[in-house]
Amino acid sequence: MAPFFATFITLLSLLQIFTTTNSARVGIVAPKRHGFSLDLVHRDSPASPLYDPTFTLTDRAVEAARRSIWRSRHFASRFSGGVSTKIYSPMKSGSGEFLMKLALGTPARLHWAIADTGSDLIWTQCLPCESCTGRKMSMFDPHKSSTYKTQSCSTSFCDDLPTEGKYCNNDRLCGFHYVYGDKSYADGVLSKDTLTFDTGVHGTIKFPSTTFGCVHDEAGNVATAEVSGLVGLGGGPLSLISQISSAIDNKFAYCLISYYDTNSTGQLKFGAGAEFSGTGTVQQTEMAQGSDQGTFYVLTLDDVSVGGKKLNVKFDAARPTALGDAKSIIIDSGTTLTLLSNEAYNPVESAVASAVEFEKVEPVEGFSLCYHVKSFDLQGFPSVTFHFAGADWELPPENAFLPVAEGVVCLAIVPSNMGIAIFGNVAQQNFHVEYDLGKGVLSFVPTDCTRL
């Protein structure tokens, strides 16, 4: 009897390791003691389905700037009363910067999607969808998945959808309808299915009963080409991070490759895989606690330095902003440029202009300060340091300036009139950035992201 009891306890322990359920009611079939990592592919990489070989350096820079401005406006609308404060609606997939692969359903089928720290809902285009602009071959077919289930209006996840974009259809299923600033829209049904990631060295990891949006009607190029959806990595209840939180110890990280390097891939890391390696000094700063930002990861910016000299930025504490605090700034992997309020941007531009001896040129569209250069080695350009609460994030010149045309370099920091400040992905390139949501702490350290 004793040997049988011991064997039973051993099997029960293994079952607890490999199958568990977290607070977000997602089953997990994965070795929790291991983290896992996925490749992040920049949209302009030849490995990306969005790659356009006809794009010039200027085309790429202008489009990235346009997406950054559009994204800041969309973020600002989150706080203007047009979108519920309970959950932030998903960004258009065409606005993202980094792509990831995921497999959905049983049997699993691989899909490209935008990885987005600025939104929550996981969604994909689903058949039937005659209005969808993505390729039909890349869309998810619910009828071919044995584990697909729709969600009724009485489910808790349906409650997490914004009131303005939620409805019950004739079958009492939970529907959603998101309208964007450019009048495009996405309409679908909240659903559940198995989400599968191929992690390479650690094999396949499955997350059964993952909640996502199945889009059956759209207008305005919500998704493009083979990128049929989006993976929300924000802080809201419907995000991938929240749904699998217990399996990843409530932490994730990424390491973004250089803007100049379109042949390498970055990394998106979860759980133990998010932990730091190497000998660099890891710095930490607190993320906003107890606020109503929900989706967004918000830091406190105390000051900025250019070339090692603090600017003593005078933030107007009495001036309301979209985030509520003049020092608040969203850290976002899906925005290329860094956007600052005028009170922070103006002294930065003045200090850069004093430090750089190259000839100024007419700014390229989307940028505010540009120089004529003979080479792109950025010698003669200063570093820019963002002094967050308790941590100094020093940007080397390649993280603060971008080549935007032959012989032209521009400051990758621009002014924002949206009431939203964003710390963008060029600033974060070649840093290992970890989000510990359990502790409410963001950590970072300089890293060669091509070597992870």
Residues annotated catalytic, as ranges: 116, 332
Q: Return the beta strands (E) in 288-354 as ranges.
A: 298-306, 309-310, 328-331, 338-340
Judge if the upstream peptide bond of residue 107 is cis by omega within 30 degrees of 0: yes
3-state secondary structure of 186: strand
Tokens 């759209």 belong to residue: 218
Q: Are 389 and 302 within 8 A, CB to CB?
A: yes
Question: What is the token pair recorded at 84?
Answer: 């519920």
Tokens 């910067």 belong to residue: 97
The span from the CA of 102 to the CA of 419, in Å, is 35
Tokens 């107007």 belong to residue: 316
User: Which of 393, 259, 276, 222 minimizes the C-alpha distance to 335?
Assistant: 259
Rg (CA), the chain: 22
Helix and strand counts by DSSP (H, E) for the chain: 7, 29
Residues with Cβ within 8 Å of residue 31, at least 6 apart in sequence: 17, 18, 202
Give residue 253's region: left, alpha or beta (phi > 0; psi -120 to 50). Answer: beta
Listing DSSP states for 191-253 in one string gives EEEEEEEE-STT-EEEEEEEEEEEEEEEES-SSBTTEEEEEE-SSSTTSHHHHTGGGGTTEEE
